[in-house]
Structure 1
């Protein structure tokens, strides 16, 4: 990327075809509205540039509502923009050095307006002319800037059939491309676009305020900002093996994708057996006999990115495809279906969306024998600048670290998402895990810095939606209140690792308003009660009715975080308020304690303590600093007594395993205790185990964490290449299960910031039973390496650090290499 800033004012105009997806004003929509009959529309754009000489420097910036795919001289350079709030938009920048040549060049774009909300896009307010599809581009060539205008040529991309999301939970848009209607050379030099129409320049039109503006900066987005997320990157992934079977008695005619879904579902009820192989083993091309065939392709591991296919097949050959977590009909319920109709030559397909899965199912109907020349996934993930991996004398832990890091990678796109194989929503609470992994193990901190800002899109009442920049961000969908409290922890980590006080100051009003939203439900005892929305806590059956102990503990921790952040900003008033509320919750929390059980009960409802006891309440209370000293030993015993811990998940029958994601009991239903509450403790799922481990660290039990992390072995049994969502079921890859990649660095190697911005680090290795452990942590100044061999500890640090031995003795060290004893 160029470091020279673009000017604030754009010279490129907003352009589109003469048919944006807008309806005129009406009684119901006096400011105009989106046209419900025009959705998922695509427009092809071209602009020829003639240069006397190859440029010394060249770059391009681009933004669009909703999507773009950019080509220069026939080569696809990228797509975007990143997900954003309805009234904000970002631009991407591309270096064109070497891409433009002397003579004729062509910049081409596929513009797309979605219309329907998706997990990664919310519609923007319309303003008569904007909000229904638009594109703006500027090309800077040496000292000239060429922007989008009426000289650009456009043509409707009718080769794609508009497709809405498949359902409320299955929301990845489907894609149907009839390649016979799309010239494969449309983005190439020499293509004749003389029959195309001139672009329509969109002129801002408002009821009040200035009108007539044609460049970005006005309604509804304001000035676009440079994307804070680097260009997504990743490997080109090639499959391990393939199976070819009979495609059944019924042909897909290339029209409705719903029919293709039904046919694939029937065929996947008894899928063919695929031979075992390693990623990259599949020898391509693959010759396929004529007729109707089902192909099941195994990539050997979960991958996430743009699906690429290349065929040598007769014109009219129909291809229905779906990328799946498992080769089952149940997995199809949470996946998009793609359709492609071959043109008979140069049949190359690259999916418009990022997809995720391990298994590709293809139903192909060809009149003659044909050839699958290429099948691959071009991964598109946030960059990770690696540090030395965790390694020890326990190969199981090493593997758990590697898979955890891979799970975080797969779940990190332009935002932290839940599961790349399904929703790809940026959930407000989930991402606290992804962010913590990136701060610990990724030297590129672009996404962990951006994540709290992306998620800081509060509702009018101050609480955050359950997701950001997606379909569930609408006020029509109730929120998960506790997710906003995990967002505050993201803000705390942002300050701890980066020391960026300006960013914290910008976001602190959001944090305060979240806490004041909770205060509306505070009773005289200081505890919040009957908090509305979906109080999730975790997928385990933690009881939450009435006064929820786990929710109140998370709230107390958030007040403590805000108090400490306010201290850092010199905001004594806010710090005092937050500490007073923390103290009030601490005093009221005593009511949850049951001396006979020796534990905090999970609820108080109608003045009576509930029966259940959970790791969640105990761990969150320790992390919040609201457990009196005389009770800490009892809480420690509870968290370490693994024999009495049980877990269960409502997701056990959902997803790719049995019923599909929308079948069975709604996952929001919280079952009442049917277990022995006097003996058993509700255990944390992988997500909340991050807080359990943090509590054990605070209790001085970090040496126990390596053994506790071996629980992740169970997640590898049925899905060995990424960590599943729950101990029982759920998606096959979920970012919130990636906590071992952080915990082995922060707790086992003991590397964490001692001062904001990592200007001084704390190193306190707690390897437990391990005799050897090594690895590195990320800092803004480079990696910090630690190697433990018996009692010998070798450290190479780019900053000064404090070393803490097993007995708690501290020693101060300058930056550089040091050897000491544990």
Structure 2
């Protein structure tokens, strides 16, 4: 699936996967390390305390950067050169002044991986230098959380080694370091916005520090870190050590992407803040009207689309001048309030600001001193690579555009994990990712992130549920979780089962899935419904009622139980499958309590045994997907889901966007107002995220022909955000991967391409074009790409594997691998 093996002649820095390290180990990622853990003279560990006798982090040493160098000479160039590296928490690697890569990938507190690079193209005869900018955050950020400290480890560390033909150069006390005092340590702005500001005084940083000829003789000697813990301390200085154990090989390719260039839209004098703070300065400039004169100018540059990566800003200005900036969704104060900021102090020559962390947005907003010339504004995108398939195209150009924008939205939210948005958060939410993964499985030949993300998210709490976010600030047990997000994760495991057929992978995740489902069992009440669960039952951003016993939550549990039973049977675990089906039978019996015979619909909830008044498409759709609806009611559910005139989609996020009141102001995002609408007629409609469940339900109801017309709803999202899909029909972030469902469904349901058996050993093709007269596209399988083109009543298929073709009448015919056409 999308091979990650490098081709001959690949450039320096291309991901090489797990190398054999010149005989130092095998290809399992468990090779013996020559490099030792090193850091500056002191880590961020402040020593033991009464509360934490094993060592505690010292906040005064948070967000520290350290510059490392190791020089070596080569009389001749080797035949091979592989470098691997890891760090607590981040590194930026250079070889002879050339940037090689950055990492490691996000990880849990007791997980850590290494990155491997083929660096032969960057070597030179004579003097060479490995240079590393290492950073320890200390503060939890959206993509990193602290590891348990063990006296010496967990407060900053770097390990690296370069394997040549007949020698290995490993990190040790011969490496030189210098504190990164050019950067001012930063702190999170608040609970939601925890990305750290970058404040860099370029006058304190020699731009030649990464080059071989730089004189580092006055730099300090690196300190080797020896493992030391309360019990079992080995004194080891090389991996494996506490708290990470064996460092695993990077599971996904390195992030990459196009270089985007911005165009300056406006530049005018602006009001100057009285406070010397970049965020305050930017806020004052954005909040004021243009003035006729002033010492500062507000510059707004447009990338023309939402972008995600590292800023590259080239400027010419007098020494000591200051540039404050932020990449925003829209150039407003509200957008600024949910974005990280930077400050760059000019050195006076060779001035180029390169952000060290990835940021996202469309508009670069800068406050600069008069006389500052901005010569180049670029951003190098940092996204998971995508190996494309032929895109969906049809007789309706609007759907073609929706497919394309959905794919771009997932690209922007696929980093080293699937993240919610590239702008204000970049958090790996456990529920959101099911949509991103589904799109990757249908439109990307490289399934490495689709396979890795569910494994990364499989970090359950002690009670079995997953946290709402992993590998980041919100992963803390101090924050309640979203119970339904764990259920969407189970669906992502089911996606792996159907698409990859990888038994070992699915089996490794099934225990976590079981723990999630068993968590719900004690909350089954005397009516056989799950009631009053703790945490934040979200479902989505619509006002679907969840207090008491949530019908939508019960139905999602039922779907999870069916998924779990199916996968257990496939793996030969009939005992667990029987338990899941017995639990499902109980919920199917209890779900009858939500049915309102007069309304001919399921109500949203039960409170103290009394049925609620509101009706939502969430409950109707999830009940179908969870197989809770008797056959005689399915027509009623179908009518409800297709009565779009009755749907309304109010959202508490309508005033929480960069073009509204910002991330904190406005009504609480967890608000669920009691129904004030006409519950006898109106139906609470799903926001973009939950529509993946709605479309699944319609397909199960035999209404797949309706899905292409329903995807036209996404036109509304393009009116004020034409380059990526917004979080909600109104409000929220300007780019949210969970809104990309049409990109999956135009292939899965309109063209009708899906696995007929686990692992795609047979493909099902069941085109349902709806209002379209023709459509074509493709999808990846483990055996190659399958292409489908439909015109009128005929379909052309080119498949690398056998095909089950399902006609509009439901008749199934079987065809061998290859090219054929038929009537449908």
Please report the TM-score for the alignment, with normalisation by the length of structure 2.
0.96
Unaligned runs of 5+ in 2: 1-15, 26-30
Q: Secondary structure at the match of 2:570?
A: helix
Task: For residues 285-316 of structure 1, give each alpha carbon's deviation from its aligned partner in whole angstroms, at most 9, with x where no partner exists.
Answer: xxxx9941110001111000001101111100
Provide the residue aligned with 1:437 in structure 2. Answer: 439
Q: Secondary structure at the match of 2:784?
A: coil
Provide the residue aligned with 1:319 in structure 2. Answer: 323
Closer/same/farther in 2, CA of residues 695 and 271 from structure 1, 3 Å limit: farther
Deviation for aligned residue 1:2: 5.8
**Residues in 1 aligned to 2:570 and 2:271: alpha-carbon distance in whole angstroms:** 66
Deviation for aligned residue 1:4: 3.5
1:260 to 278, 281, 293: 278
Answer yes or no: is 1:468 the counterpart of 2:470: yes
**Residues in 2 aligned to 1:249 and 1:684: alpha-carbon distance in whole angstroms:** 45
Q: How does 1:808-819 map to 2 (within 5 A)?
A: 808-819=810-821
Q: Does the Cα contact within 8 Å between 1:411 and 1:417 map onto a contact in 2?
A: yes
Q: How does 1:668-747 map to 2 (within 5 A)?
A: 668-747=670-749
**Residues in 2 aligned to 1:240 and 1:687: alpha-carbon distance in whole angstroms:** 33
Q: Secondary structure at the match of 2:558?
A: helix
**Residues in 2 aligned to 1:241 and 1:263: alpha-carbon distance in whole angstroms:** 20
**Residues in 1 aligned to 2:604 and 2:274: alpha-carbon distance in whole angstroms:** 56
Q: Does the Cα contact within 8 Å between 1:128 and 1:205 map onto a contact in 2?
A: yes
Deviation for aligned residue 1:3: 5.5
Provide the residue aligned with 1:153 in structure 2. Answer: 176
Provide the residue aligned with 2:3 in structure 1. Answer: none
**Residues in 2 aligned to 1:5 and 1:558: alpha-carbon distance in whole angstroms:** 41
Q: Does the Cα contact within 8 Å between 2:270 and 2:289 map onto a contact in 1?
A: no
Provide the residue aligned with 2:296 in structure 1. Answer: 292
Provide the residue aligned with 1:405 in structure 2. Answer: 407
**Residues in 2 aligned to 1:422 and 1:356: alpha-carbon distance in whole angstroms:** 8
Closer/same/farther in 2, CA of residues 482 and 576 from structure 1, 3 Å limit: same
Q: Secondary structure at the match of 2:378?
A: strand
Q: Does the Cα contact within 8 Å between 1:244 and 1:272 map onto a contact in 2?
A: no
2:351 to 347, 352, 356: 347
Q: Secondary structure at the match of 1:440?
A: helix
**Residues in 2 aligned to 1:271 and 1:773: alpha-carbon distance in whole angstroms:** 50
**Residues in 2 aligned to 1:143 and 1:490: alpha-carbon distance in whole angstroms:** 45
**Residues in 1 aligned to 2:582 and 2:90: alpha-carbon distance in whole angstroms:** 47
Deviation for aligned residue 1:791: 1.2
2:341 to 337, 341, 355: 337
Q: Secondary structure at the match of 2:746?
A: helix
Task: For residues 145-192 of structure 1, give each alpha carbon's deviation from its aligned partner in whole angstroms, at most 9, with x where no partner exists.
Answer: 221011100110100000011110112111100000001101111100
Task: For residues 207-238 of structure 1, give each alpha carbon's deviation from its aligned partner in whole angstroms, at most 9, with x where no partner exists.
Answer: 11132100010100000000101000100001
Task: For residues 259-281 of structure 1, give each alpha carbon's deviation from its aligned partner in whole angstroms, at most 9, with x where no partner exists.
Answer: 321221232235779xxxxxxxx
Q: How does 1:71-470 map to 2 (within 5 A)?
A: 71-250=94-273, 253=276, 259-269=277-287, 291-366=295-370, 369-470=371-472
Closer/same/farther in 2, CA of residues 106 and 251 from structure 1, 3 Å limit: farther
Q: Secondary structure at the match of 1:98?
A: helix
Q: Secondary structure at the match of 1:208?
A: coil
**Residues in 1 aligned to 2:290 and 2:399: alpha-carbon distance in whole angstroms:** 34
**Residues in 1 aligned to 2:125 and 2:349: alpha-carbon distance in whole angstroms:** 31
**Residues in 1 aligned to 2:104 and 2:42: alpha-carbon distance in whole angstroms:** 22
Q: Secondary structure at the match of 2:435?
A: helix
Q: Secondary structure at the match of 1:687?
A: coil
Task: For residues 46-97 of structure 1, give each alpha carbon's deviation from its aligned partner in whole angstroms, at most 9, with x where no partner exists.
Answer: 0012112111111110000000000000011111101100001010111112
Provide the residue aligned with 1:616 in structure 2. Answer: 618
Provide the residue aligned with 1:662 in structure 2. Answer: 664
Q: Secondary structure at the match of 1:773?
A: strand
**Residues in 2 aligned to 1:224 and 1:656: alpha-carbon distance in whole angstroms:** 40
Answer yes or no: is 1:517 the counterpart of 2:532: no
**Residues in 2 aligned to 1:272 and 1:648: alpha-carbon distance in whole angstroms:** 36
Q: Which runs of 4+ in 1 moved over 6 A?
A: none
Q: Secondary structure at the match of 2:252?
A: coil
Q: How does 1:496-511 map to 2 (within 5 A)?
A: 496-511=498-513
**Residues in 2 aligned to 1:781 and 1:233: alpha-carbon distance in whole angstroms:** 25
Q: Does the Cα contact within 8 Å between 1:334 and 1:655 map onto a contact in 2?
A: no
**Residues in 2 aligned to 1:723 and 1:31: alpha-carbon distance in whole angstroms:** 47
Task: For residues 7-65 of structure 1, give each alpha carbon's deviation from its aligned partner in whole angstroms, at most 9, with x where no partner exists.
Answer: 22211100001111111112121111111211000000000121121111111100000
Q: Does the Cα contact within 8 Å between 1:525 and 1:584 map onto a contact in 2?
A: no
**Residues in 1 aligned to 2:506 and 2:500: alpha-carbon distance in whole angstroms:** 10
Unaligned runs of 5+ in 1: 254-258, 274-288
Q: Does the Cα contact within 8 Å between 2:19 and 2:116 map onto a contact in 1?
A: no
**Residues in 2 aligned to 1:550 and 1:202: alpha-carbon distance in whole angstroms:** 51
Query: Aligned residues, how many?
Result: 800
Q: Does the Cα contact within 8 Å between 2:312 and 2:352 map onto a contact in 1?
A: yes
**Residues in 1 aligned to 2:263 and 2:445: alpha-carbon distance in whole angstroms:** 31
Provide the residue aligned with 1:276 in structure 2. Answer: none
Q: Does the Cα contact within 8 Å between 1:251 and 1:292 map onto a contact in 2?
A: no
**Residues in 2 aligned to 1:75 and 1:631: alpha-carbon distance in whole angstroms:** 65
Provide the residue aligned with 1:277 in structure 2. Answer: none
**Residues in 2 aligned to 1:96 and 1:252: alpha-carbon distance in whole angstroms:** 46
Provide the residue aligned with 2:593 in structure 1. Answer: 591
Q: Does the Cα contact within 8 Å between 2:500 and 2:758 map onto a contact in 1?
A: yes
**Residues in 1 aligned to 2:422 and 2:432: alpha-carbon distance in whole angstroms:** 13
Q: Secondary structure at the match of 1:22?
A: coil
2:55 to 22, 32, 38: 32
**Residues in 1 aligned to 2:426 and 2:94: alpha-carbon distance in whole angstroms:** 26
Deviates more, 1:232-241 or 1:37-46: 232-241
Q: Secondary structure at the match of 1:33?
A: coil
**Residues in 1 aligned to 2:548 and 2:585: alpha-carbon distance in whole angstroms:** 20
Deviation for aligned residue 1:252: 6.6
Q: Does the Cα contact within 8 Å between 1:2 and 1:95 map onto a contact in 2?
A: no
Q: Does the Cα contact within 8 Å between 1:271 and 1:328 map onto a contact in 2?
A: no
Provide the residue aligned with 1:640 in structure 2. Answer: 642
Task: For residues 382-410 of structure 1, give each alpha carbon's deviation from its aligned partner in whole angstroms, at most 9, with x where no partner exists.
Answer: 01100000000111000000000000000
**Residues in 1 aligned to 2:405 and 2:288: alpha-carbon distance in whole angstroms:** 30
**Residues in 1 aligned to 2:102 and 2:158: alpha-carbon distance in whole angstroms:** 12
Q: Secondary structure at the match of 2:635?
A: helix
Q: Does the Cα contact within 8 Å between 2:778 and 2:788 map onto a contact in 1?
A: yes
Closer/same/farther in 2, CA of residues 298 and 791 from structure 1, 3 Å limit: same
Deviation for aligned residue 1:242: 2.5
Q: Secondary structure at the match of 1:563?
A: helix
Closer/same/farther in 2, CA of residues 405 and 412 from structure 1, 3 Å limit: same
